[in-house]
Amino acid sequence: MNEQNEPQCIAFDGVRRVASGSLPHVARKVKDALDQGAPPSILIFDDVTGEPIEVDFRGTPDDVAARLEKTMAVQRPAPAPEAEAAPAEQRGPGRPKLGVVAREVTLFPRHWEWLASQPGGASVALRKLVEDARRVHAKRDALRKARENAYVFLSAVAGNLPDYEEAVRALFAGDSARFAAHTGSWPVDVRAHARKIAARAFPPA
């Protein structure tokens, strides 16, 4: 297993960091801790999304590693097939293959009238509107997603810590200084990871 290409994660036993790094590495460290009597409440989190990661720790460390490898093999994207040396497909006139997906859209009559009047019709106009919105709001959407990711971790590990609610308010307000202040008294491992995962949630100074 090439651990350099595996998801990066972190494990916590309460407010103490158990291990961090690739998922196979962290899973083995957690398994070792469990075998030495650590409580079964150790949590593993994705280092980017903050989402908890479930690992089956039954059996030996090799059993755990084998099950994890099978699970991750299923989740890995299949490699793109090599292009075969074949004559290029001759396409006639008409709509190219764009990978479009047909789904229902509900709008008011005035919206349909405006869309129908646009060059290319409703579908082309909608696609242009969506692409424009993605470009305009890309930074805002990235910050919103980063705040949601950080909140997942905070709610799971820091919910009982002092100033938790104030830290969350600062997170969603985009106030990095207040977030740092309200996490200052937290246990060092939780504080360090909370600030790390929240760093992407604040706009550049």
Q: Of residues 48 and 161, which shows the higher confidence score?
A: 161
User: Is it the case that residue 176 has pLDDT exceeding 90?
Assistant: yes
In 3D space, the residue among 17, 67, 64 whose CA is nearest the CA of residue 38 turns out to be 17
Range 129-136 average pLDDT: 74
What pLDDT is stored for residue 164 in this prediction? 97
In the sheet that holds 43-46, the strands lie side by side as: 16-22, 8-13, 43-46
Sign (positive or negative) of CA dihedral 144, 148, 149, 153: positive
* Pick from 31-40, 84-93, 116-125: least confident: 84-93
Q: Which of 75-84, 106-115, 170-179 is modeled with the greatest confidence?
A: 170-179
What pLDDT is stored for residue 73 in this prediction? 80
Q: Of residues 80 and 71, which shows the higher confidence score?
A: 71
Question: Per-domain residue ranges for the chain?
Answer: 3-75, 109-205
What pLDDT is stored for residue 11 in this prediction? 97
87-99: per-residue pLDDT in tens?
Answer: 545 555 545 556 6
